[in-house]
Structure 1
Amino acid sequence: MTAAPTALRRGWRAADSAAGGLALDLGLYAASAAFAAVTAATSTLLPHRAWGGVAAVGYLLAALAATGQLLSRRRDPGSPLAGPPARWAVTAFAWLTTALLPLAWQSIERARGRTDRAQEEVLVVEESGRRLADTGTPYLGHDAIAALPPGEQLLGYTPYQPGMALFGLPRAAVDAWWTDARVWFAVGTALALALAVRALIRAAHPPADQRAGVAVLRGVQAATVLPVCALTLATGGDDLPVLALCLLALALAATGRPGRAGLAVGLAGALKLFAWPVALVLIIWGLTRRAGLRVAAGAIGLPAAALLPALLVDRDALVENVLRFPLGHGLVTSPAQSPFPGHLIATALPAGRAVAAALLLAAGLAIAVRLARRPPRTAVATALVCGYGLLAAILLMPSTRFGYLLYPLALLLWAPALRPGAPAGSANWRAKDGDTAYT
């Protein structure tokens, strides 16, 4: 283990424990309020501006609540207003006001005719749901996309796995605000996170261990009220159920349920390719537990089962959307461009795309060597490998989005929540190098 990651973890633990975690809560809400206010004032994306105007107020109120908790703790360290249940309540309020309220407001305004209250991925998912209901596949073929007006060809592509179209089915049945795909993204996200929290809290030893609850709380904050997550859910949202299912899979792995972990990450993989690296690392983790086949059954089986109907209905349409378009060989190219190193190298240097691709391949090989030499034996190690690996990939990809950072950030901040996962009364768990591991 290198010194830099160790120092970073120690620094994080020190910051996270200051004032019982309330100091970091206040910093999170205050910085997020500033981010939302800047977004409302400067963003060129109208759904983002609308989110910022509402979320800034929500974050500010949460910051004021955290300030009150800090003052209460200073007067009385044992005050219930400063304890974990109160922190959970403020977190729930923050998610309600910075993600769910803007989401509902934009969905309602969109249902009333506003065309600037959803990002393009919402429209794409809903159209894929309609196609799934009508034709049995969520994808348009090459010729059908080519027949669209040039300005609509990009929206003709569905660069997701077939399962994502399920979130568009309600809109195919009823045209109302509550059938907006974002509403169902939020439902799926909340359900997966609730199951993950339940698994970790129940497995804490003793079950009422407050340290376990505090670590889980920080992980939940990372997946909900962190601006990159709240903004994404309110304006687009398709990444959040994928992320939540990956976090659920890691929670199930931490509590000794590899088969269910495979099913959870398999559901995520049936929605979006971003879950596939997490599935691969979880399978390797499963091999160290002699449970690789149980993990792989769900992690590989569910995405394969989701692909099969689309493959049988129109194989060429599946290949066009799921392979050719993401690899840059479609009729149009993805507009995803963020000033990360990979994109800057690809656009600024001669043969830049080749250089960026080589760097990305080198990073992938380095991770593969690490997995071969030191396979992750704990859920904590698995989450860290996934988080750092996805961070490297996002930074080095020639075409990517700033919002994709929600994956590595949430995975890395979820890792500490996996440490207290030893099932109560189990003799098959022990602490190793600060992590929870099987014996």
Structure 2
Amino acid sequence: MRFRRVEYPVTTADTVTDPAAPSLPWWNRRGTWATGWLLAALWAAAFPVVSSLDTHRLWGTSAALGYAAAAAVSYGLPGPRARRAAVALALAGAVVVPLLFLVLTGRAQSEVDVIERSGRLLLEQGTPYLPHPRKVTDYTPYLPAMALLGIPKALVGDHGWAARLLGDARIWCAAVFLLCLHSARLTLRRPRSAATLTGPRARLPYGTAVAALIASPVVALPLCVSGVDLPLTGLCCLALAMAARGRPAAAGLTLAVVCSLKWTAWPAIAVVVLLLGHVAGRRAALRCAGTAVAGATLLILPSAVLSPGAMIQQVLAFPTGRGDLPTPAASPLPGRLLADLGPAGWYAAVGLLICGALAVAASLVHRPPAHLRAAADRLSIGLLVAFTLAPAGRFGYLALPLVLMGWARLADPREPVPSLTVRGARPERAAPAVPARRTYAATAFRTGGE
């Protein structure tokens, strides 16, 4: 009898399910996060050089330092803790520090002063519009509900740091935005029993992703210097979430509020109604549309009755470049460049804008959105067309559709995700195991003529 040493491969806990799959998804790699924060740092560092606004320069200096620190932490430290630390550094440098400094020192863009004055006028005369504006800052290009965000300033005044924090319109714009995102998340949250093996553990945590979105320049800059479009963005997200879950009354009330902030939010009615019609049926869609129109009318009508001329002049004529004074929204977008050519160019820009709106409307009728992500994309495309072809516009307006598209992908991910093991869960079908590189030696007895 002789002994022979034979080595057999033994499957261990180190086996992988798919040798062709990458070790980590792209969003979970250190290089991806470090590169993103580095690009944000370069973007922010350009503001102190090229911008003529004091608020933008201050934000750019602080944000560039925060983004650079986040890039260093993302690349230098491994693991989820490093990612959370990087997001915290970016939030501190791009949001917390500049926002507190600008609020406490009383520095802001003119939009903040306009909102706060509108709140004071709403309390005094029942309408947020000055009857005879003499300069650009006297115009209020917003619908009446925007003045509600300026009422705290009229109530608490401007004496002391506490009053400045509680009364600044940017704080309330940010509060509405964050509250809407949180409410939308609660609305979209699935029951625990509906979680799948490739669900929450297989993608980036929602809280970390939303924090990174808030810390990004797309949200951080307007949040610190003006904040005027953030409530509109948050309410649009909430309305889409309500429609995706088949809640017509809540979606209609949310649309009523958002459509009484700025007229640029009115396209959201069509998108939300069509999404709700696919999810809950025609009756629910009609109920949502009726609630939205009736609610917006109740919020807008009092100011329209008290100051119809001022409202038309400041809300419709002034933002489109047809007011008595030129609008400061003069970024070199295609619509603005056409409008600068004269009356013929202005009509050409309006014609292109109408054609773009009809094209988006035709796409909605031909293929209505069937889920949250499709609805957010369709609304974003419509807003991008409107802001690009409008006779007057700013690059900052494009942040609204960009945030909508980004948030929808965080709240409703539909792309394939890598399979991960969930503790305590039992997969329905296990993939064939691939032997690990390690082997264990086994001794076999051999008898006979060997």
| Structure-2-length-normalised TM-score | 0.77
Higher relative contact order (CA 8 A, sep 6+): 2
Partner of 1:311: 304
Alignment match, 1:187 = 175
Which residue, out of 38, 46, 51, partners 1:38?
Answer: 46
* Partner in structure 2 of residue 434 of structure 1: none
Deviation at 1:191, TM superposition (A): 1.3
Q: Which amino acid aligns with 2:381?
A: Y
Mark the CA change 1:222 to 1:251 in structure 2 (over 3 Å): closer, same or farther. Answer: farther
Does the CA contact (< 8 Å) of 1:254 and 1:419 recur in 2? no
* Counterpart residue number, 2:65: 57
**What is the match of residue 37 of structure 2?**
29
Q: Tell me the CA shift for residue 90 of structure 1.
A: 4.2
> Hey, what does 1:393 align to over in structure 2?
386
2:186 aligns with one of 191, 198, 203: 198
Q: Deviations over 1:112-133 (max 9, x none)?
A: xxxxx21110111111111011
Indicate yes or no: 2:138 matched with 1:156.
yes
Distance, in Å, in 2 between the alignment partners of 1:249 and 1:81 is: 33
Q: RMSD between aligned alpha carbons?
A: 2.7
Residue 399 (structure 2) aligns with: 406
Question: What's 1:165 paired with?
Answer: 147
Alignment of 1:16-165 (within 5 A): 17-18=25-26, 20=28, 22-68=30-76, 71-73=77-79, 80-81=80-81, 87=84, 90-110=86-106, 117-141=107-131, 144-145=132-133, 148=134, 153-165=135-147
Of 306, 313, 321, the residue aligned with 2:314 is: 321
Structure 2 spans left out of the alignment, 5+ residues: 1-21, 415-450
Deviations 1:95-126 (CA, angstroms, capped at 9, x unpaired):
3431232111111111xxxxxx2111011111
| Alpha-carbon contact 2:115-2:146 (below 8 Å) kept | yes
2:235 maps to 245
Could you say which structure has the larger radius of gyration?
Answer: 2
Q: Distance in 1 between matches of 2:66 and 2:273?
A: 40
**The 10-residue stretch of structure 1 (194-203 or 163-172) with the greater mean CA deviation from structure 2:** 194-203
Tell me whether 1:383 sits opposite 2:376 in the alignment.
yes
Contact 1:137 1:310 in 2 (8 A): yes
1:361 Cα offset (Å) = 1.5
Relative to the length of structure 1, the TM-score reads 0.79
The percent identity for this pair of structures is: 40
Q: Which amino acid aligns with 1:231?
A: L
Is it true that 1:283 corresponds to 2:283 in the alignment?
A: no
Describe the shift of the 1:298–1:227 C-alpha distance in structure 2 as closer, same or farther (beyond 3 A): farther
One-letter amino acid matched to 1:277: P
Greater share of residues in helix: 1
Amino acid at match of 1:361: I
Matches within 5 A, 1:364-375: 364-375=357-368
Q: Residue 327 of structure 1: CA displacement? A: 3.5
Aligned to 2:221: 231
Which digits, 9 at most, give the CA deviation of each residue in 1:350-394, with x for residues without a partner?
Answer: 932222222212111111111111111222211110111111222
Q: Check 1:219–1:163 CA distance in 2 against 1; reply closer, same or farther (3 A cut).
A: farther
Measure the CA separation in 2 of the matches of 1:383 and 1:257. 17
Displacement of 1:420 in angstroms is 5.5
CA distance in 1, matches of 2:311, 2:348: 29
Deviations 1:259-308 (A, max 9, x none): 32232232222212222112221112223332212322443233212112
1:215 deviates by 7.1
SS at match of 1:274: helix
Distance in structure 2 (CA, Å) of the matches to 1:228 and 1:98: 11
1:405 shift after superposition = 0.9
Distance verdict in 2 for CA 1:251–1:66, change over 3 Å: farther
1:322, 1:118 → 2: CA distance?
22
Do the aligned residues in 2 keep the contact of 1:222 with 1:410 (CA within 8 Å)? no
Aligned pair in 2 of structure 1 residues 221, 398: CA closer, same or farther (>3 Å)?
A: farther
Amino acid at match of 1:189: F
1:339-350 → structure 2 map (5 Å cutoff): 339-347=332-340
TM-superposed deviation, 1:257 = 2.7
| AA partner of residue 136 (structure 1) | G
Q: Say if 1:216 and 1:414, in contact at 8 Å, map to a contact too.
A: no
How far has the Cα of 1:349 moved from its partner? 8.3
- Separation of aligned partners in 1, 2:230 and 2:139: 20
Matches within 5 A, 1:213-232: 214=204, 216=206, 220=210, 223-232=213-222
**Contact 2:45–2:64 (CA under 8 A) maintained in structure 1:** yes
Conservation of the 8 A alpha-carbon contact between 1:219 and 1:410: no
SS of 1:29's equivalent in the other structure is: helix
Q: Is the 8 A contact 1:223 1:244 kept in 2?
A: no
Given residue 150 of structure 2, which amino acid in structure 1 is its aligned partner?
G
| Structure 2 counterpart SS, 1:214 | coil
